[in-house]
A and B are shown apart, each in its own frame.
Chain A
Amino acid sequence: MNKINKSLMAAMLLAALPLSNALACTIDAWTGSPSATAPTANGPQSAESNARYSGLCALSADAGQFVVDNFPGAEGVYRARFYVLTSAVTSAATIFKATASDNGQGATVVSIDLGAGGTSLSFNQNGTSAGTITGLTPGRWYSVEFLYKAYVDAANPGSFEASVAGNVSFTGSIPATPLSAGNTGTIGSAVLGFASGTGPALRFDAFESTRSADTPIGRLCRGDASGDSSLSIADRVAINNEILGNSVVTGQPDCTEDGAVSIADRVCLSNRVLAADTCP
């Protein structure tokens, strides 16, 4: 399986920074041309308290702001997963699109729109609706993962499928549906952000993409504040440290997925430990 990773965190760049610097959030890993006014990467280490799902940073995008990944190269099989902190957008907002050419240009192969009010996600492939998932709550983190396989021929019609999960207990999915002839678009770039629409800012985190048709990327472990892929009392202590302002955790402390790290997350995590929950 070939894997195309694109982390919003500056983790890959940390080695290049002087150790005395605070860990920096940056969008430098996104190789394409961002919007004219680029979104910002920031996190709780910033002067303001900013939400992120995992690690130290998230992408904050006002209307019209987005980043671009030019790594894909005419991909006929493309899987991507990201987290979005929704908002009550005032008009439908395109939060992701994969296009045929670099820098978000060319035909749109896949697009994902957050509906007005922030309560639904609509998926499109090659200009055709692939389905809508409803019942989301604005102001909550959701993971969005989709798999696009281009139509090749009658024996290999390709397919599109998607799954959404978040706000602790919400799940929704679009089952794999074969494509009809003509849906042959291949992907040359991916756009993530608030590409179109209006409304309050959106935040994004933990973007990953692969060429795998078989292996889901999956969700990160909710409440795993220490980032060790297990849920234990160590995560409660780590969340406490962030609440107390002692340190910022590098895992997923927002157990309630409400966009804030608070005592509620401590209780949430404790409940998961007491229920013997395990990380996926």
Chain B
Amino acid sequence: MKKIVAVCALSLFSMVAGANELLLTSSSSKAGATQVSIDFVSDGQAVAFQYNIALPKGVSADQVDLRSCSADLPKQYVGECSVAKGQIIGFVVNDANVPFPAGVLPVGKIGIASAAKLRNLEVLKLEVVGSNAKTLKASVSVDPVK
């Protein structure tokens, strides 16, 4: 009974504390490439978010495929990404200043074609912003590279 109560309490905590969350899920292909799926869980207040991911060790900029980095976004949102100064940088914004609906927002995918053995991705920065341009609480969930 105590264990059940503890598990429920933890779940409730994560729902409240991690209300805005960037989800990075990695998977490897037989060719040695890695695909990173990007999703964002919104608390219903965010109008924009930006992420900066460290370029994995051994990976060069031209080994990063950003063509689909915002391909899964609904049309009313703007998403852009780049590789610069050793980072993969991306952001999603609703320029109408209307918050994303609460829940999961699919963003897109980043491809990393490298024979280098990738460690877990390192998110250097996650900034989630409300309609008043103030930052909101947010967290990151990175699934290990399989």
Residues of A within 8 A of B (CB): 225-226, 232-238, 240-241, 244, 246-247, 249, 266, 270, 273-276
CB contact between B133 and one of A241, A273, A275 (< 8 Å): that residue = A241
What are 14 A-B pairs at a CB distance below 8 A? A226-B133, A233-B50, A233-B127, A234-B127, A234-B135, A236-B48, A241-B97, A241-B132, A266-B95, A273-B50, A274-B80, A275-B85, A276-B87, A276-B89
CB of B70, distance to nearest CB on chain A (Å)? 12
Query: In the complex, A7→B1 CA distance in Å?
Result: 64
CB of A91, distance to nearest CB on chain B (Å)? 43
Query: In the complex, A266→B135 CA distance in Å?
Result: 18
Question: Helix, strand, loop or mixed for chain B's interface?
Answer: strand
Apart from A233-B49, A233-B129, what are 9 other A-B pairs with CB-CB below 8 Å?
A: A225-B133, A232-B125, A234-B127, A234-B129, A236-B48, A237-B93, A238-B133, A274-B91, A275-B85
Q: Is the CB of A276 within 8 A of B85?
A: yes
CB of B83, distance to nearest CB on chain A (Å)? 9
Q: Which residues of A contact B47 (CB under 8 A)?
A: 237
Write the B103-134 contact mask toward A (1 if CB under 8 angstroms, else 0).
00000000000000000000001010111111
> Which 5 residue pairs are nearest across A and B when measured between Cβ atoms?
A233-B50, A274-B82, A238-B133, A276-B85, A276-B84
Q: Which residues of B contact A274 (CB under 8 A)?
A: 80-82, 84, 89, 91
Q: Is the CB of A273 within 8 A of B91?
A: yes
Q: Is the CB of B52 within 8 A of A276?
A: yes
CB of A266, distance to nearest CB on chain B (Å)? 7
Residues of B within 8 A of A (CB): 47-50, 52, 80-82, 84-85, 87, 89, 91, 93, 95, 97, 125, 127, 129-135
Q: Would A246 and B97 be within 8 Å (CB), given that A274-B84, A275-B84 are in contact?
A: yes
Query: In the complex, A249→B132 CA distance in Å?
Result: 10
Q: Which residues of B contact A235 (CB under 8 A)?
A: 133
CB contact between B80 and one of A226, A249, A270 (< 8 Å): that residue = A270
CB of A274, distance to nearest CB on chain B (Å)? 4
> Which single residue of chain B is at the shortest CB-CB distance from A278?
B85
Q: Is the CB of A275 within 8 A of B97?
A: no
Q: Which residues of A contact B93 (CB under 8 A)?
A: 233, 236-237, 240
Query: In the complex, A236→B92 CA distance in Å?
Result: 11
> Which single residue of chain B is at the shortest CB-CB distance from A230?
B127
Q: Is the CB of B133 within 8 A of A237?
A: yes
CB of B17, distance to nearest CB on chain A (Å)? 21
Query: In the complex, A236→B91 CA distance in Å?
Result: 10
Query: In the complex, A74→B133 CA distance in Å?
Result: 45
Q: Would A233 and B91 be within 8 Å (CB), given that A274-B80, A276-B52 are in contact?
A: yes
Q: Would A233 and B87 be within 8 Å (CB), given that A240-B95, A241-B132 are in contact?
A: no
Q: Which residues of A contact B48 (CB under 8 A)?
A: 233-234, 236-237
Query: In the complex, A275→B97 CA distance in Å?
Result: 24
Q: Which residues of A contact B84 (CB under 8 A)?
A: 274-276
Query: In the complex, A240→B87 CA distance in Å?
Result: 25
Query: In the complex, A234→B91 CA distance in Å?
Result: 10
Query: In the complex, A18→B134 CA distance in Å?
Result: 25
Q: Which residues of A contact B85 (CB under 8 A)?
A: 275-276
Q: Which residues of B contact A241 (CB under 8 A)?
A: 97, 131-133
